[in-house]
Amino acid sequence: MKTHPIIAIIGGTIWGNRGAEAMLVSTIGRIRQDFPDAEFNVFSYYPDQDRNLISDPNIHIHNATPLSLVFNHFLGALIRRLYTFLRIEACALRCLTIANTIEESDLLLDIGGITFSDGREKFLPFNILTIWPAMILGTPVVKLAQAVGPFEHTINRALARYFLTRCKQVFVRGESSACHITRLNLPPNITSPAVDIAFLYQPAFSLSAENTSRVSTVLERIRQEKGNGKKIVIISPSILIDRKLAKDSIDYTGMLLSTVSQLDTNRCFFVFMPNATREGSLKHHNNDILIIDRIRQRFENSLDLSLQSAAVFINFDINTSTIRSLIDQADLLITSRYHAMISGLALAIPTIVIGWGHKYQETMMAFGQSQYVLNTSQTEFDLAGLAIHALDHSAQIRKELQRHLPDITQLAEKQFSNIRQYLK
């Protein structure tokens, strides 16, 4: 007989996308506040790297790569269900490790950032396979705050209705998602509005320690520059946004370089920081280190020596704890990563975001900061003008962010009040 809850979590990782890490560690940390002895089965698409980073005995990392989702999760769940129906002896089930783990869990939490969305049909198999095995095995599924929809495309609408109806709870992130999901005519008790879990992040929730000595060096440099009276501007670029803008012949790195030049290197010191890191990998997915290296090369090729000495570039793995520590030193954050934006807002740091889709605008609007959002669909960007304005109005912006934070964290918190009913 179990003496403590066992929770399965899918859709997040430690390594790679640090926004996914922020959601994962916040989920685990927040549940532990209610259930200190809870055990967690984390299904990761970077299982080997995550196992190397986590040593917590109550957190077990399992494989959730695409092949594993098909063969170990889905087919394993079908086989286990068949064996149970046929009353085949338990010893025959021992090889179905992942299916057994899912069935033994009290609850499966899906923390994926966006699911069942028109135009992202190539991700539908992943959206389905992350939750269907649990449904087959009778494990309750709760989707924590994520963007969903729109549902204008027939196949997406049909699959979303089928699978979301079978969830115990679907927390939707933002007004647009809340509006989209009404089109599915789901039972009214299934869906609830929410905000991103990462708004509940606390430093004590961190599960890894990465490049601590190199981080200390950067933080010391920042403190020296602050001591010299300089404003700290942290820039967290996105390789995804770089590629989106390149399709419209917009030079993303050139835009950032121009912004730095216009902000005055005598006044500001710049820190280029990734929010998605795969140190040692040349793959573009979840790897902002590559775009930071490209920006650094542009700086080094500049003839302006003052420009070259006005910035530091972080091109190694850092976790959410480090990201928050760095942003907390900032006078201004310029980012193209959603969860870097959340970090800035949560720390009441003036934040400018260059993003795509409605999720950036909605979140910034909730803090009264919609004027500091630039969209990749725009043809002209006055990033430098916005940055100068934000620096000049820093005190007012901080007060506005602090005013909205209690309501935002309360909306995030209600997800875990809901979870408690499944774990008592």
Q: Where are the domains of the chain?
A: 6-203+408-423, 209-392
pLDDT at residue 236 greater than cutoff 90: yes
pLDDT at 300: 84
Domains 6-203+408-423 and 209-392 share a fold: yes
- Could you tell me if 350 and 331 are in contact, meaning their C-beta atoms sit under 8 angstroms apart? yes
The verdict on domain 209-392 having CATH code 3.90.1150.10 is no
pLDDT at 1: 45
CATH T-level assignment (fold) for domain 6-203+408-423: Rossmann fold (3.40.50)
The span from the CA of 245 to the CA of 248, in Å, is 5
Q: Which residues contact 334 (CB under 8 A, 6 or more apart)?
A: 233, 234, 235, 236, 256, 259, 351, 352, 353, 354, 383, 387
Tokens, residue 95: 């090889």
Average pLDDT (134-150) is 96
CA angle 337, 341, 345 (to 5 degrees): 175
Q: 363: closest CA among 415, 416, 412?
A: 412
pLDDT at residue 272 greater than cutoff 90: yes
Confidence of residue 360 (pLDDT cuts 50, 70, 90): very high
Confidence of residue 357 (pLDDT cuts 50, 70, 90): confident
Tokens, residue 114: 């966006």
pLDDT at residue 87 greater than cutoff 80: no
Condensed to tens digits (0 to 9), the pLDDT of residues 305-352 reads 677 789 999 999 999 999 999 999 999 999 999 999 999 999 999 999
The span from the CA of 285 to the CA of 281, in Å, is 10
